Amino acid sequence: MANERPETILVVEDEPALLDTLEYNLVRQGYRAVTAADGITAVERARQEQPDLILLDVMLPRMDGLEVCRTLRREMNVPILMLTARDDEIDKVVGLEVGADDYMTKPFSMRELMARVRALLRRVRLMREEMAVSASEEAALKAEAERLVFGDLVLDLVRREALLGKSPLPLKPKEYELLVFLARHRGQALSRDVILERVWGWDYAGETRTVDVHVRWLREKIEDDPGRPARITTIRGIGYRFEG
């Protein structure tokens, strides 16, 4: 995601060496890190910075991590990954009342932690995009007739077929579904992740490259010049957009 602003991660840890290590590794991964070494400062910094993710130690001076988590949960919708030192803390952390999204027990591997961070941030991005897509889809479905018409390209949603200049296009089922999905969200930049999830489904174990391959096949069928596509354009660092 080269074009986007770096995501901000608030790191709350009272052990200076660990705080430094966490900060160093997050910055190296391209995130913006802000830090706090006690619970009260953590809440203040979270309010100021509105971070995209919080790494939160449980045992902290001034206000413990569980209380910080409870407080912030009421105020903002931010994913929180708790860092626990003892097994007996885990019960409280995963308990419903605190509401952390994930936890790791110390000592943890930095590689594993970074993987969890990436996974949590990806989940949040997908959820936000998903909400935007669902809203526009609902509006589109209400307004939509049985056909979507883009010049000489016509999608007949009742017969489930695509026509180009009145001749049916030989599309495979997934190509058709992908084309309809893109067309319903015309003008909207859609990430490969959201396309994969909406056209192939959550349980599909494939990679986002699947999306690229199907877009290439579609372009060969619907573009005048597949090498310089005018209908399905590539949005760098994100995915694709149907221009309609």
> Site residues (CB under 5 A) for Ca ion?
14, 57, 59
The residue with its CB nearest to Ca ion is: 59
Q: Which helix (H) or strand (E) holds 82?
A: strand 80-84
Residues ≥6 apart with Cβ < 8 Å to 74 = none
Residue 11 or residue 232: which is nearer to Ca ion going by CB?
11
CB of 209 to Ca ion, least distance (A): 42
Residue 36 vs 218, nearer CB to Ca ion: 36
Q: How far is the CB of 79 from Ca ion (least distance, A)?
A: 20
Identify the bridge partners of residue 154 per DSSP, sorted by sequence position.
149, 163
Closer to Ca ion by CB, 55 or 148: give it.
55
Minimum CB–partner distance for residue 3 and Ca ion (Å): 37
CB of 118 to Ca ion, least distance (A): 24
Q: Is the Cβ of residue 11 or residue 153 nearer to Ca ion in the bound state?
A: 11
Would you say 72 or 190 has its CB closer to Ca ion?
72
Q: Which has the closest alpha carbon to 121: 222, 11, 15, 31?
A: 31
Query: CB-side exposure of 48: number of CA atoms within 13 Å?
Result: 10
At 151, the amino acid letter reads: G
CB 36 within 8 A of CB 42: yes
Name the CA radius of gyration of the chain, rounded: 23
> Which value, to the nearest 10 degrees, does the dihedral of the CA atoms of residues 157, 158, 163, 165 take?
-100
**Closest distance to Ca ion from the beta carbon of 109 (Å):** 18
